[in-house]
């Protein structure tokens, strides 16, 4: 062994500080140490992921590795390009009954109101997040949340976002809720703690040719920028009936902002927001946020102007 060589023990599993696995950050020290079988399963799955990092099958191996740390009911991995719609790379565990709603509807139009998609388009930094950190203050009462999350079992999620370059990211979203369960604080801490390893693996996959094998010859970048689609959608939604201010308020309501948050963002009083909301509901012949959401999605689907 040379003077500068790392000792063999540096590459062996443990002894780790409490709650620490290879590739973990030190943020989870307060949790109990993982069992040896968990360590063994995690390292074995990591080895398979590393072996296949430049292959299309890598994402399945990574999903398997993460599932050794904690049960994950479903998972979705996407390519995120700033200014472009997300592109699905891999999904597992989403029941067939919901695949049309989650996969097809989300990637065709539902992403336009998704808080993570909007945050990524605005330059969300790479890291590990959960939904409550990103969503507007009233998002969990919104029709979007009820439609795209609760109805498909995605009551709560953890989310890795990894930079490939200045304009490209890979997102890995883990859903929990099909069994009416949620990620515990400990589970979220464990998932967050392996961010360094997940980040490095996804970055290698995205830059070494593995992702190109998943995408194939699809021209996934020749699409209208997301921010342009969003602006166009809300510029024209109800344009024959609603004022500019009413369309702005409809936009924020649909994204999950409360009256208070909407007022703060627009620099007006909550009473003014309520007045505009009442007026736009009257003009659109609706009585609730649920009807507003349904009308907007129908309008997007038909591609017409009210």
- CATH code (residue 271): 1.10.10.10
Task: Indicate whether 254 and 128 sit together in one domain.
Answer: no
Q: Do residues 67 and 146 both lie within one domain?
A: yes
Q: What is the CATH number of the domain that holds 164?
A: 3.30.450.80
Residue 247 lies in a domain: yes
Spatial separation of the C-alpha atoms in residues 92 and 257, rounded to whole Å: 31
pLDDT at 7: 40
Same domain, 165 and 26: yes
Domain span at residue 271?
A: 237-302
Q: Which of 182, 215, 248 is the last residue of a domain?
A: 215
pLDDT of residue 69: 93
Q: How far is CA 201 from the centre of its chain?
A: 18
pTM for this predicted structure: 0.70
In a domain, 6, yes or no: no
Give residue 153's pLDDT. 61
Whether residues 290 and 162 share a domain: the answer is no
Do both 43 and 120 map to the same domain? yes
Q: Look at the chain and report how many structural domains it folds into.
A: 2
Is residue 111 domain-shared with residue 195, that is, in the same domain?
A: yes
pLDDT given for residue 235 in this prediction = 67
Among candidate residues 126, 127, 135, 124, the one with its CA nearest the CA of residue 82: 124
Q: Are residues 246 and 172 in the same domain?
A: no
Blockwise average pLDDT, block size 10, the chain, 306 residues: 40 38 47 73 93 95 95 90 82 78 70 82 88 87 81 74 89 79 85 94 92 72 52 72 90 88 92 94 90 82 54
For tokens 């490939």, the residue is: 164
Domain match, 143 and 102 both: yes
Q: Are 121 and 112 in contact (CB under 8 A)?
A: no
pLDDT of residue 227: 52
- CA–CA gap between residue 296 and residue 291 (Å, rounded): 9
Q: By the 8 A CB rule, do 144 and 115 touch?
A: no
């Amino acid at each position: 062994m040379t003077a500068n060589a790392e000792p063999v023990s540096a590459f062996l599993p443990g002894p780790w500080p409490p709650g620490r696995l290879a590739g973990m950050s030190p943020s989870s020290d307060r949790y109990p140490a993982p069992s040896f079988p968990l360590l063994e399963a995690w390292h074995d799955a990591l080895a398979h992921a590393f072996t296949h990092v430049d292959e299309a099958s890598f994402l399945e191996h990574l999903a398997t590795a993460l599932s050794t740390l904690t049960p994950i009911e479903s998972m979705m991995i996407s390519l995120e390009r700033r200014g472009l719609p997300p592109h699905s790379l891999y999904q597992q565990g989403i029941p067939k009954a919901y695949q049309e709603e989650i996969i097809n509807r989300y990637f065709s139009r539902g992403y336009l109101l998704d808080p993570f998609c909007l945050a990524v388009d605005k330059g969300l930094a790479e890291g590990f997040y959960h939904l409550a950190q990103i969503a507007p203050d009233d998002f969990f009462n919104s029709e979007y949340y009820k439609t795209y999350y609760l109805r498909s079992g995605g009551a709560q999620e953890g989310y890795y976002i990894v930079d490939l370059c200045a304009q490209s990211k890979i997102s890995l979203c883990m859903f929990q809720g099909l069994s009416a369960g949620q990620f515990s604080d400990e589970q979220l801490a464990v998932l967050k703690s392996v961010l360094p390893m997940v980040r490095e693996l996804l970055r290698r996959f995205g830059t070494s040719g593995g992702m190109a094998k998943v995408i194939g010859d699809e021209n996934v970048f020749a699409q209208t920028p997301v921010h342009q689609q969003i602006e166009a959608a809300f510029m024209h939604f109800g344009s024959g009936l609603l004022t500019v201010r009413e369309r702005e308020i409809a936009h924020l309501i649909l994204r999950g902002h409360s009256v208070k948050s909407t007022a703060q963002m627009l620099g007006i009083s909550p009473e003014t927001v309520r007045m505009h909301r009442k007026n736009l509901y009257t003009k659109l012949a609706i009585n609730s946020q649920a009807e507003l959401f349904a009308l907007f999605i129908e309008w997007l689907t038909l591609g017409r102007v009210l």
